[in-house]
């Protein structure tokens, strides 16, 4: 590796593929797709993803169904490569232009190399492409233009620069190039944290407690936990630590009526219900029946019985009138750009732009306005996003408070106990902000708004 500053340069020697998809020294297995065939498959999938016609995970799943010749060991290798391409797309595509012939195959080779595929795989095919690889590994990212250097779209870099300064652009852009850790929330209705950790260890899965989250574990590697008997029995849910912290900010009491206004598939709903020890009542709302249908079997698996689901047309649905002024807690996890989750969903940075941000802002203001009507006197509204942009966070909350003097901002440290806080969050701030570069979670934002007693 060369270049005066290596922190922005991901080039490295190929390393053993952690998925176990190859034999010794990358030798192909009997009946496996050929080495060059794997490069070609990665190139085909990159070509599909480059059209951004749907979420990356759905496109990858569909591709694997359409290509059964890819075995169980090859699929993780291909998936790692294309996710690497999504993270480094601006840089990989820029470098792939510095040679003759089809750039798509060069993109695939570089993605395979950077994702750790063995050399016999990424070096298969045209020798001229390998000569190109030997040249580009000597390019320092610091010498590149903004998009290939940061691997962020210019609109997002400009927003981060305007709102947080150049140091944050640097740390954030580097953090979201890394893969996210695997966190689980232990379902303490069925098992203790220690018991789950011991059971996972018995399966060869290492895990460690997460500081500040008494019901959480961080798992080593990427084991297929969803296929385990423990998961099927409801012992745990896969949930990022940040999502768990903002769920705890709801701070429900056992007799409360809690409304999860944008419940989706119900990850935070389940966490809230667990905090309530299956007492009180939790109402899960969403405009998508499909998402709520995913929640119901999760609730049954978790042993959750204190919930009710309701598919609404929009945030102004008149069926919400029966909850006006009655909810002790209303969680508003609004639709957002998702810029805090780029480690897990790197395609989002290509699927959002300034226009979609403006449209989301309008939706966020409408949702918080209508959701606030459900809060009873002395109740709380908890506004949450998985974005790092002030446009979707502080500015929405400030505009809402300016229009609603009956609500006041409560400091997040007043709600979370000292032993239940992210250790690197700013305890002097009124609103909770989590950054992926801190290593504790994805990027999240949350504000607790208390309604007056009168």
Residue 389 DSSP SS3: coil
End-to-end CA distance of the chain: 65
pLDDT over threshold 80, residue 131: yes
pLDDT over threshold 70, residue 25: no
Residue pair 411/397 in contact (Cβ under 8 Å)? The answer is no
Q: What value does the CA radius of gyration of the chain take, rounded to a whole number of Å?
A: 23
pLDDT over threshold 50, residue 270: yes
The structure tokens 């690497």 sit at: 84
Among the ranges given (126-135, 176-185, 292-301, 304-313), the one the predictor scored with the smallest mean pLDDT: 126-135
236-250: average pLDDT: 97
CA 278 to each of CA 134, 275, 361, 383: distance values in angstroms, whole numbers, following the listed order: 59, 8, 34, 23
Residue of 242 and 2 predicted with greater confidence: 242
With pLDDT > 70 as the criterion, what percentage of the chain qualifies? 92
Residue pair 219/205 in contact (Cβ under 8 Å)? The answer is yes
Which token pair is 323?
A: 């909850």
pLDDT of residue 448: 98
pLDDT of residue 98: 86
pLDDT over threshold 90, residue 390: yes
pLDDT of residue 169: 96
pLDDT of residue 1: 33
What's the sign of the alpha-carbon dihedral 104, 105, 108, 114?
negative
Q: Tell me: the pLDDT tens digits for 324-381?
A: 999 999 999 999 999 999 999 999 999 999 999 999 999 999 999 999 999 999 999 9
pLDDT of residue 33: 59
pLDDT of residue 123: 86
| Full DSSP string of 139-186 | --GGGS-HHHHH-S-HHHHHHHHHHH-HHHHHHHHHHTTSPPPEEEEE
Residue pair 371/397 in contact (Cβ under 8 Å)? The answer is no
The C-alpha atoms of residue 226 and residue 403 are separated, in whole angstroms, by 45
Among the ranges given (134-148, 233-247, 437-451), the one the predictor scored with the smallest mean pLDDT: 134-148
The C-alpha atoms of residue 158 and residue 351 are separated, in whole angstroms, by 17
Confidence of residue 71 (pLDDT cuts 50, 70, 90): confident
Q: Find, among 132, 43, 133, 152, the residue nearest to 90 by Cα.
A: 152
Residue of 123 and 46 predicted with greater confidence: 46
pLDDT of residue 36: 67
125-151: average pLDDT: 89
Rounded to two decimals, the pTM is 0.90
């Amino acid at each position: 590796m060369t270049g005066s500053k290596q922190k922005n340069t991901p080039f490295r020697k190929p390393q053993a593929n952690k998925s176990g998809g190859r034999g010794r020294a990358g030798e192909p297995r009997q009946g496996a797709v050929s080495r060059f065939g794997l490069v070609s498959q990665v190139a085909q999938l990159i070509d599909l993803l480059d059209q951004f016609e749907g979420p990356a995970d759905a496109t990858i799943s569909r591709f694997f169904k359409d290509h059964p010749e890819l075995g169980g060991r090859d699929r993780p290798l291909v998936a790692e490569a294309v996710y690497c391409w999504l993270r480094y797309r601006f840089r990989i595509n820029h470098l792939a232009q510095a040679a003759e012939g089809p750039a798509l195959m060069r993109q695939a080779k570089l993605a395979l190399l950077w994702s750790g595929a063995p050399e016999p795989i990424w070096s298969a095919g045209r020798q001229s492409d390998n000569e190109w690889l030997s040249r580009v590994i000597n390019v320092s990212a610091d010498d590149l233009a903004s998009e290939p250097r940061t691997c962020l779209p210019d609109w997002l870099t400009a927003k981060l620069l305007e709102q947080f300064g150049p140091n944050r652009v640097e740390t954030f852009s580097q953090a979201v190039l890394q893969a996210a850790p695997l966190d689980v929330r232990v379902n303490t209705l069925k098992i203790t944290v220690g018991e789950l950790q011991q059971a996972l260890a018995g399966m060869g899965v290492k895990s460690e407690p997460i500081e500040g989250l008494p019901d959480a574990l961080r798992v080593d590697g990427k084991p297929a936990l969803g296929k385990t008997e423990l998961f099927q029995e409801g012992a745990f849910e896969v949930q990022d630590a940040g999502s768990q912290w903002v769920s705890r900010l709801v701070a429900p009491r056992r007799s409360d009526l809690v409304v999860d206004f944008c419940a989706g598939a119900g990850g935070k709903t389940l966490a809230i219900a667990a905090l309530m020890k299956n007492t009180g009542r939790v109402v899960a709302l969403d405009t998508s029946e499909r998402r709520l249908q995913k929640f119901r079997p999760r609730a049954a698996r978790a042993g959750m019985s204190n919930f009710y689901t309701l598919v609404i047309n929009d945030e102004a649905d008149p069926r919400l009138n029966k909850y006006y002024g009655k909810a002790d807690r209303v969680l508003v996890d609004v639709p957002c750009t998702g810029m805090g989750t780029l480690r897990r969903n790197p395609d989002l940075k290509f699927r959002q732009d300034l226009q979609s941000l403006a449209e989301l802002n309008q939706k966020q203001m409408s949702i918080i306005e209508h959701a606030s009507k459900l809060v009873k006197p002395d109740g709380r509204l908890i506004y949450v996003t998985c974005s790092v942009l002030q446009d979707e966070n502080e500015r929405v909350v400030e505009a809402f408070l300016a229009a609603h003097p009956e609500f006041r901002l409560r400091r997040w440290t007043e709600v979370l106990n000292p032993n239940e806080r992210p250790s690197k969050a700013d305890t002097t701030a009124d609103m909770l902000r989590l950054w992926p570069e801190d290593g504790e979670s994805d990027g999240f934002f949350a504000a607790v708004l208390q309604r007056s007693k009168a």
